[in-house]
């Protein structure tokens, strides 16, 4: 079996694989990889789902893929456009099936930090803040997050600050996919270009790997779709792995 992953393709494709048929899926601010994942799913998978994005687009079909998930270009082709308060309301009413939310740190319970590294009162690093995370994480039916680095400083035993908690189900990194099971993140699969021991070594919290397997290789359709979205490799070059 041939494994054809790059860190970029592993992240985008495994984020796309979290989308399920007939769901309403939302990608937020500063979320280029989920934006690409949502567009990839439209091109590579034979099922319908509704794609909503933070710029206000519904089922957008952009002719040019913007390099910001908040760029109005991502609204092109939308049959409808909504305001930000509308998607908060939709989530609170149980109408968002899956939401992509970013994080700086994540713990084994699926709680995230995007507020501060170090003491809240004297932080080493001030982060941009939660945005809508504290509202969307407990109200969306399912939340997916990602990290472009898989390290003990990002996947931690104890968060420096709890920004949001709730229905986070999935974590995708360049080397692994975790799914929550029995209240904790458990390893679902790992990139076969690294070892299971590597995943353990680079993770700051303990996890169950009893049911884990090698991640299935990218399909030709997934790779073709990703190539069509990033033909010049511009998005890939922007991802620091």
Residue spans of the chain under pLDDT 50:
none
Give the number of C-alpha atoms closer than 13 A to the C-alpha of residue 190, restricted to the C-beta side.
20
pLDDT at 112: 96
78 lies in which domain range?
7-238
pLDDT at 131: 76
The model's pLDDT over 67-99, given as tens digits with 9 standing for 90+, comes to: 666 677 777 777 777 777 888 888 999 999 999
pLDDT at 96: 94
Does any domain span residue 2?
no
What is the number of domains present in the chain? 1
Pick from 145, 172, 168: nearest CA to 8: 172
pLDDT at 2: 53
Q: Is the dihedral of CA 6, 27, 147, 139 positive or negative?
A: negative
CA of residue 10 relative to chain centroid, distance: 12
pLDDT at 123: 83
Residues 49 and 27 sit within 8 Å (Cβ to Cβ): no
Q: Which two tokens stand for residue 23?
A: 């769901």
> Which pTM value belongs to this model?
0.93
Q: Which two tokens stand for residue 94?
A: 């149980």
Q: Indicate which CATH number applies to the domain containing 218.
A: 3.40.1080.10
pLDDT at 204: 97
pLDDT at 240: 62
Does any domain span residue 79?
yes
pLDDT at 122: 86
Alpha carbon distance 42, 61 (integer Å): 10
Q: Mapping DSSP to helix (H, G, I), strand (E, B) and coil, where does residue 10 land?
A: helix
Does any domain span residue 163?
yes
Q: How far is CA 23 from CA 16, 32, 125, in A?
A: 13, 20, 36
pLDDT at 70: 65
pLDDT at 3: 63
Does any domain span residue 1?
no
Please report how the helices 7-16 and 32-44 are oriented relative to each other, as an axis angle in degrees rounded to 10.
70
Alpha carbon distance 34, 177 (integer Å): 15
Pick from 168, 124, 163, 118: nearest CA to 146: 168
């Amino acid at each position: 079996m041939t494994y054809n992953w790059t860190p970029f393709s592993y992240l985008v494709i495994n984020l796309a694989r979290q989308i399920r048929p007939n769901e309403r899926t939302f990608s937020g601010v500063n979320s280029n990889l989920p934006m690409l994942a949502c567009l990839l799913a439209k091109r590579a998978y034979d099922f319908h789902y509704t794609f909503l994005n933070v710029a206000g687009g519904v089922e957008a079909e952009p002719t040019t893929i913007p390099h910001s998930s908040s760029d109005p270009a991502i609204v092109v082709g939308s049959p409808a456009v909504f305001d930000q308060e509308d998607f908060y309301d939709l989530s609170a009413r149980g109408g968002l099936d899956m939401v992509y939310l970013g994080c700086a740190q994540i713990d084994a319970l699926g709680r995230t930090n995007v507020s501060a590294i170090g003491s809240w009162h004297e932080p080493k690093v001030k982060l941009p803040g939660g945005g809508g995370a504290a509202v969307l994480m407990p109200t969306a039916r399912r939340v997916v997050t990602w990290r472009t680095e898989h390290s003990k400083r990002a996947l931690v035993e104890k968060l420096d600050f709890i920004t949001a908690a709730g229905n986070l189900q999935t974590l995708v990194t360049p080397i692994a996919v975790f799914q929550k099971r029995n209240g904790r993140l458990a390893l679902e699969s790992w990139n076969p270009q690294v070892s299971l021991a590597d995943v353990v070594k680079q993770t700051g919290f303990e996890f169950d790997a009893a049911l884990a397997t090698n991640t299935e290789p990218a399909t030709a359709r997934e790779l073709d779709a990703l190539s069509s979205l990033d033909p010049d490799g511009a998005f890939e070059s922007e991802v620091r792995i």
